[in-house]
Structures are given as C-alpha cells and as structure tokens.
Amino acid sequence: MVSFYGTEITSRLLLGTALYPSPQVLADAVKASETQIVTVSLRREGGPEGAGQSFWQLIKGLGVKVLPNTAGCHTVKEAVTTANMAREVFETNWIKLELIAQNDSLCPDVVALVEAARILSDEGFNVFPYCTEDLSVAERLLRAGCEVLMPWGAPIGTGLGLNNLYGLEAMCAHFDDVPLIIDAGIGVPSHAARAMEMGFDAVLLNTAVAKAGDPVVMAQAFAKALEAGRMGYEAEPMLPNQMAAPSTPVLGKAVF
C-alpha cells in the first residue's frame, strides 16, 4: 500500500485515459488493470452531442480517483489556469502538473514547473509534478510544496523504458521517504517491473496500454508486472557480482 497526500492506494498502477480505440475498451482496460487512479485532461468541448460530458460520466462510473493533468501547457499562467478549471470540473484538489519545454522531446520545463508548483501548492492543490530525474530540481519541487515526485522514465509516448538508470536509482536513494512515481516512457511490463525493483512506489502510463494490440490484456500484464516487481524489491534481491560464484557448494564433493 502507498499513500499520496494522505490517500492510501493499494494498486501501484496509475493509468491514463487517452488514445483508446473506444470508450468500452477504455473502461475494460481500467477494470483489468485494477488501478484506483486515472489521469484525465481538461479540453474544450465541441459539437452538439456533449462528448465531454459523456466521457466524464464514463470515468465517474468506473469508481476510481481522478487525477486531472495540465497536459499540453507551456507557460505557468496556462498551467495554473488549467489546474483551477480542472479543480472546478473534476471536484478534486489533485493535479498532475505538466509544463512542457519544447515539443520534440516533451521534456519538462523545470524552471517554470517549480514556479507553477509553488503557486498551486499555495492555492491548496496537491501537486503531482511531471519532472526529470535531476535531484536539485526535485528538492526545489519539495520546497515548493510538492509531497510526490514523478520523474520521467523516457520521453512521453516513446516506450523506451528507463533511460537513465543511474539518475533514477539516485532519486530512490536520495528521496527514500518521498513517494516516487515513474511517469512517461514505459513501453512494456518489464519496464514497470524494473521500476518497482528499483524502489519506486508506482508507475503512471498511458500509451503502452492504450495503443497495444489488446489494451485489456496489456493492462492485466502491467498489473501483474508491478506486483511481481514490488514483491521482488521487498524480498531484498541479491547484489550483483563481477565474478562468478557457484550456487552448488564444493565443500564435501567427491574427489577422484
């Protein structure tokens, strides 16, 4: 069990709600993943059929906690305004804060991120910042009021996995008392299991499930991978060795 801003969660998988082939597949994948938190983006609603309201009713019917995000924002003003609108629409103080520096890598704008996090924290938001694995940036985010850190594994939507193992391991060691969530870049269940084995508390992903050939089965696979990885971490795995060591004792073997 892990706690985010005083809310205890049993599932360590956070799931995005974009890119699914149909609303029914989305609903089935969320249920199969056993997630308790889904991310949603605030967008202007167009057309006479009220598609946005239909989507919101679908999400509410899933019985999960909603984590709105500021996806696509490039300025502090834009992110803060979006967060306040999301709080009103989704009736939650939780916000996943995304502030993008440039569109090719979708890398977080870490300077603007810290500023926006401070403003939103002062306004009563529980901020989940999408950040890099830079320790100094992480420390500034904590001082700004964040109680959770969400470093990227790789750029959003790439599926490359955990690009900077050294940096991510350093985060786990340095912030051992702060909830850490790998956000972005996860492509296959083994990536998620590796994050758990390193000591991360949860994984947030979207594309890896939504764009899979069978999103429902993939959601189940990620749920199992996260469980296995966390169990492996809690079992205290053996340390790697540079030299071979026999697993069968040689003492007492027959000598010819």
Active-site positions read: 96
Nearest alpha-carbon partner for 95 in 37, 153, 30, 21: 37
H-helix or E-strand spanning residue 107: strand 107-108
CB-facing half-sphere around the CA of 256: CA atoms within 13 A: 0
Mapping DSSP to helix (H, G, I), strand (E, B) and coil, where does residue 248 land?
A: coil
The phi-psi region of residue 131 (left if phi > 0; otherwise alpha if psi is between -120 and 50; otherwise beta) is beta
Q: CA gyration radius for the chain? A: 20
Helices (H), the chain: 23-33, 51-61, 76-90, 110-122, 135-143, 165-174, 189-198, 207-210, 215-234
Kind of pairing between the strands at 2-4 and 7-9? antiparallel
Query: Token pair for residue 188?
Result: 């296959």
Chain Cα centroid distance, residue 67: 11
What length does the chain have?
Answer: 256
